[in-house]
Structure 1
Amino acid sequence: MAQYQGWTSGPNTRGSFDILWTCLTTMALCVWTAVHPNIPVVSRFGPTLLERLGLMMLAMIFPEFVMTAAWDQRRRAQRLLQEVNPSPARHEDEILREAADASLLPPDTSHRWSLLQALFAVMGGYALETQYTSQVTKQPRTIRRLVTPEGVAILATTGTLPSVSERDLEERSKADVFAKVIVVCQILWFALQVLGRLGQRLPVTLLETHTTIHVGCAIVVYAIWLHKPYNLSQSVMVTGPDSQRIGAFFNFHDISYAVYRRQCERYETHRIEYWKRRIIHASRGVTRFESPPEPPTRKPLVQLLAEHRSSPADRMTAVDEDEDLLYALAPEASEGLEMLQRHGCRVADTTDPNDPFLRQTSANFTIRTVWGGWSTDVGHEPSWSKGIHVGFNVLYGGCHLAAWSSAFPSPVERWLWRASALFLISVPVWGALRILWWTAVRSRHRAVYPIRNGDLDVIAAPMFFTIFVVYTVARWYFLIEALMSLRRLPLQAYDTVNWTSILPHVG
């Protein structure tokens, strides 16, 4: 056998550099072609490239985040299909009768959307530009936002959604077939090498194990996003005589709820401070107290429109930007609401304020919407997205347990690897604790008053933060240890697969 050391290779051997190059290129190519980013609000080469590289790094360290986002996006596209496509169960004369009652042309039910078109809409395929004049500066301004699936469903109902066929999307999609063929060949060759080493009982390095798992994750992401357009950079602008009024209403709806959320956050802060002061004063013998703060009231959308439409503009001297927007948009937003109601859209009464009609980011990273934030009371209930995310974590950690008996440079590194994998398998426990905590926060039972009052936040907040830090360190440790293990590999790890012993006619 030829003599070799570490990073060098011989006729029937491979060096550490060969292992490193093969694994990293395989992982990078798989992730680059599997991740299908959403359309940005404004396409600029520099920011778009940085966001794409950020998604690529995210997929290499936290692949379950990308898999969860892909799964959630596909589910939203399937729900959108049910809302946009006319139901076969509805009789044609019923549709015509509703259109006649609303004095409208009958909707075109001959064209049904496909999953490709629905995914295009979900990824930000449609945009709205709304012009308004600031009530403070008297300067004309323009708001550009991407339409969410909830907004797309309404636009489709009103007939103001531009028609984008499957052929148009296939032409707009910049899928590099040649690059994907190379990736498939690279995956097949890498898989054959790993299988060949297992068949000849040769050691599989930690980096090869880690790369195999990530290749599997990339294949799952690509399968989920199989019908999603690839690398689009421009949205289709919604235009027409009604787009300005609809855009004004959409913006008014979203901004008014954002203002209400901020009011709720301020109320929670003042409420906790009030009761803490009251307990202190009561312990000092004080018997008379001021009234506790009143919670903000979520006013009906019609009432908000009327209030902002009727307020004199000359009194608008000291308002924040969102309030200025509400006053400026109110007149056209009222017209937009009336037009939507004529089309049969009951958006003023049935719309969930947690589902905005517009968004101002590409929304590629959606894990916050899955688990919710610490300062908001939205997103903490059980959901399919949480279950999918937890399932991917368990699968990812369980696959890394395959290296339980692999060769490690030291016993400490071996046990850190095992502990990291076991921690990921235990993610369902931490996820359930977070859901139970926020369930208690919203509960009105007297027994959980310390949780509702915020006194135990001093314990819960550090605990969940520590869990998140350990979770992050465990994910990074897999990659770092896989690379560091190349410094000391067993001698047989450098041997190449002897294909003539498996396939006698090869060689």
Structure 2
Amino acid sequence: MEIQRPEFINTTFVGYVPNPDGRGTLSLLFSCLLTLSLCVWSAIHLDLPPHGETDIEYTYRYLKWSVLGIFGPELVIWAAWRQFISARALTKFIQEKSNNGRNPQWTMVHGFYAGMGGFVFDMDTPEMHGPRFIPQRRLHVTPRGIQLLAKCGLLPDISLEDIKDKSKTDGSGKLICCFQVSWMVVQAAVRVAVGLPLTPLETNTIGHVVCALINYALWWYKPRWIKEPTILRGEWTRAICAFMYMSSQVSAEHKVNRDVLRDFGVKTEMSGVLYTPGLPGSQESLDARALGTRIAPRSDQECSEGDIPLTDESEPSDDPLPANGRITMLKGLELSAQTFHQEEVVSKTVHKTIPSEMRIERWKLACKAIEQYPAIRERLDIPPCDQDELRYREAHRLYPEMPDKVSQHPSGHKPSQHVKASSNKSWWCPSEELVVERPRNWPGDDLLRHMQGHLMGIILWCSSTVYGAVHVAGWNEQFPTSVESWFWRMSGVYIVFSGLLWSFFNLLGHLSGSVWWFWYGILEGAERKRSHILIYALCCIGGTLYVIARVYLVLEAFISLRALPAAAYDSPSWVLTVPHL
């Protein structure tokens, strides 16, 4: 290619020269791509990475969430909203307790920092030196765990400035991104006002812009790009960490390595043991907060067969209460605070389990935590009397904000009863996700919430309906072929229909107790019925069509650039003069 020098160069001085009228294909494409990148990459705020994760692995995880932000932006909104209400609930709880002056200042930034795994127990710290009691090197404390620490008077003290110093983005950077993505909406509104057509790519981008602005609003106070957490220190850490570990799913023998529905079918170590106070005469009274202890493991096999493990109420026992505190295994080993020896106990299923030294140490520390902190003792409850009661309590643990019609158990049991309400010899401690092995960006049982599950489901599906409605608004947009036009319309309508349908199902579950328990049975997966199989099949078919519709809307937005009406490249003159990227 030969480069020719112009024969004549105009050297006349001129003043202001406007941009050429109109826009080109590349400028349209690059403008939308830049806006999309800001909507998905810059708007996403991930939690802390697992310990030892490389930069490549962290970037890859960011890319996966960016892809989710392109094809399912309302799912990112759902995650941001759940994290927001958890941070707000934790902040409100701690600020109310801070009235006594014992807790440090706590803001929404602290709430988000706690929710993203900012506080950890590290086994390599001097405070953790001693016999090893958990296999993991680090455990991240969840918002529920931070709430328990606040109740125990052990809230971590970290300043707002220290957290902001860890973050790689501040409010000004987020504000600039919001202005940039908002320009796409302004430009589209001007085009519609003057009668110029919008391209499918612009329509799709506007949908992402709306979602991105919502994400920025929800994650405004959430730190970003933090990789190193705050290590909890103090003599109290060993005992509290042991108790939190036993109460969380990380202690389960059979873990579920997934983010969705991970709470079902996972039995924590705490769910398999019973706690027994010591003799009142040998130590201080219960109200004086000094308890001897016994923790007895229960058999999962018995539970699965409908037989609740033996308790002091279901099977008389001559075994006296411990005088100095001990941990007793009903199925094999008895451990005293000073010595341990073998002891066989006859039950419906003979199952001998000899705990490891690590488990023995963990149980000792957990008992110490129960003895020391009244907030932990208040968690103790009456042991379940039958399989239905056990199922009810598990449902109440997963959905504590269940509707009133569902929470009224036929037996009249109230989950708020605890150890001070009775003189039972054995007590049951409900499980709760207090620590996790790694932070999980998808919302789960580790986050706090103040709204019932089905109402949160309605909000999720309503956001999906809004996203579909944005694309349905482009009903009369011109496409290269009529087939593409009708596929675009059907995809948008199907997304709106799916959102409304599932919102109705969630509302029905909120209003009807029988429907609520039906859906819980499906999620629980404990029993396979024909109706459940039919629901699974319909969800599989409907979900596949939903994914196809979402993918088509994104792909068609780019494919349609091959043939657009000429008016799509016209632009109002003043729009071109506004500085933007």
What is the CA distance between 1:242 and its match in structure 2? 0.9
Q: Which digits, 9 at most, give the CA deviation of each residue in 1:304-358, with x for residues without a partner?
A: 964388366999xx999998864552122221222223x5652333994463101
Question: For 1:63 and 1:54, how far apart are their aligned partners in 2?
Answer: 12
Match of 1:209 among 203, 210, 215: 203
Give the letter aligned to residue 454 of structure 2. S
Give the letter aligned to residue 378 of structure 2. R
Counterpart mapping for 1:104-123 below 5 A: 108-109=102-103, 111-123=104-116
Question: For 2:91 and 2:436, how far apart are their aligned partners in 1?
Answer: 20
Partner residue of 1:329?
362
User: After the TM superposition, which of the residue ranges 125-134 and 454-463 deviates more from structure 2?
Assistant: 125-134
1:36 is aligned to 2:42: no
Give the letter aligned to residue 481 of structure 1. E
1:45–1:349 distance in 2 versus 1, CA, 3 Å? farther
User: Which structure features the higher share of helix residues?
Assistant: 1
Contact 2:480/2:564 (8 A) holds in 1: yes
What is the CA distance between 1:472 and its match in structure 2? 1.4
Q: Percent identity?
A: 25
Q: Which digits, 9 at most, give the CA deviation of each residue in 1:264-322, with x for residues without a partner?
A: 9599xxxxxxxxxxxxxxxxxxxxxxx9972264899x99964388366999xx99999
Match of 2:500 among 408, 422, 428: 428
1:439–1:195 distance in 2 versus 1, CA, 3 Å? same
1:142–1:180 distance in 2 versus 1, CA, 3 Å? closer
Partner residue of 1:419?
490
User: After the TM superposition, which of the residue ranges 220-229 and 451-460 deviates more from structure 2?
Assistant: 451-460
Q: Which digits, 9 at most, give the CA deviation of each residue in 1:82-120, with x for residues without a partner?
A: 3322458x8x6xxxxxxxxxxxxxx615x4412221121
Partner residue of 1:446?
none
1:47 is aligned to 2:57: yes
Match of 1:362 among 439, 454, 467: 439
Match of 2:305 among 284, 294, 307: 294
1:214–1:440 distance in 2 versus 1, CA, 3 Å? same
Q: Which digits, 9 at most, give the CA deviation of each residue in 1:176-198, with x for residues without a partner?
A: 66754653453354334323322
Question: For 1:339 and 1:189, how far apart are their aligned partners in 2?
Answer: 58
1:224–1:488 distance in 2 versus 1, CA, 3 Å? same
Question: For 1:496 and 1:229, how far apart are their aligned partners in 2?
Answer: 39
Q: TM-score, normalised to structure 1's length?
A: 0.73
Partner residue of 2:469?
398
What is the CA distance between 1:441 and its match in structure 2? 5.9
Partner residue of 1:307?
329
Give the letter aligned to residue 477 of structure 1. Y
1:229–1:305 distance in 2 versus 1, CA, 3 Å? farther
Give the letter aligned to residue 18 of structure 1. S
1:314–1:202 distance in 2 versus 1, CA, 3 Å? farther
1:484 is aligned to 2:559: yes
Partner residue of 1:348?
380
Question: For 1:62 and 1:151, how far apart are their aligned partners in 2?
Answer: 31
Q: TM-score, normalised to structure 2's length?
A: 0.64
Contact 1:255/1:322 (8 A) holds in 2: no
Partner residue of 1:162?
156
Question: For 1:251 and 1:202, how far apart are their aligned partners in 2?
Answer: 61
User: Secondary structure of 1:47's match?
Assistant: helix
Match of 1:252 among 236, 246, 249: 246
Question: For 1:369 and 1:151, how far apart are their aligned partners in 2?
Answer: 12
Partner residue of 1:125?
118
Contact 1:393/1:424 (8 A) holds in 2: yes
Give the letter aligned to residue 419 of structure 1. M
1:502–1:196 distance in 2 versus 1, CA, 3 Å? farther
Give the letter aligned to residue 117 of structure 2. G
Question: For 2:460 and 2:551, how far apart are their aligned partners in 1?
Answer: 18
Match of 2:569 among 479, 494, 504: 494
Contact 1:148/1:358 (8 A) holds in 2: yes
1:452–1:433 distance in 2 versus 1, CA, 3 Å? farther
Question: For 2:308 and 2:254, how far apart are their aligned partners in 1?
Answer: 8
What is the CA distance between 1:239 and its match in structure 2? 1.3
Partner residue of 1:198?
192
Partner residue of 2:35?
26
User: After the TM superposition, which of the residue ranges 41-50 and 214-223 deviates more from structure 2?
Assistant: 41-50
Contact 1:134/1:324 (8 A) holds in 2: no
Q: Which digits, 9 at most, give the CA deviation of each residue in 1:348-371, with x for residues without a partner?
A: 3399446310112321123x769x
Match of 1:151 among 140, 145, 148: 145
Partner residue of 2:546?
471
What is the CA distance between 1:459 and its match in structure 2? 2.0
Question: For 1:292 and 1:248, how far apart are their aligned partners in 2?
Answer: 25
Contact 2:91/2:108 (8 A) holds in 1: yes
User: Secondary structure of 1:85's match?
Assistant: helix
Partner residue of 1:3?
none
Contact 1:249/1:333 (8 A) holds in 2: yes
Give the letter aligned to residue 464 of structure 2. N
Counterpart mapping for 1:78-97 below 5 A: 78-87=88-97
1:455–1:347 distance in 2 versus 1, CA, 3 Å? same
User: Secondary structure of 2:224's match?
Assistant: coil
Question: For 1:292 and 1:28, how far apart are their aligned partners in 2?
Answer: 51
Q: How many residues align?
A: 430
Question: For 2:355 and 2:569, how far apart are their aligned partners in 1?
Answer: 63
Question: For 1:161 and 1:183, how far apart are their aligned partners in 2?
Answer: 35
Contact 2:461/2:502 (8 A) holds in 1: no
User: Secondary structure of 1:145's match?
Assistant: strand
Contact 1:115/1:227 (8 A) holds in 2: yes
1:123–1:171 distance in 2 versus 1, CA, 3 Å? same
Question: For 1:139 and 1:501, how far apart are their aligned partners in 2?
Answer: 66
Contact 2:163/2:223 (8 A) holds in 1: yes
User: Secondary structure of 2:373's match?
Assistant: helix
Question: For 2:207 and 2:326, how far apart are their aligned partners in 1?
Answer: 52
Task: For structure 2, list consecutive stretches of 5 or more residues without a partner in the other structure.
Answer: 1-18, 257-262, 268-301, 312-321, 344-350, 383-395, 398-429, 447-451
Partner residue of 1:7?
none
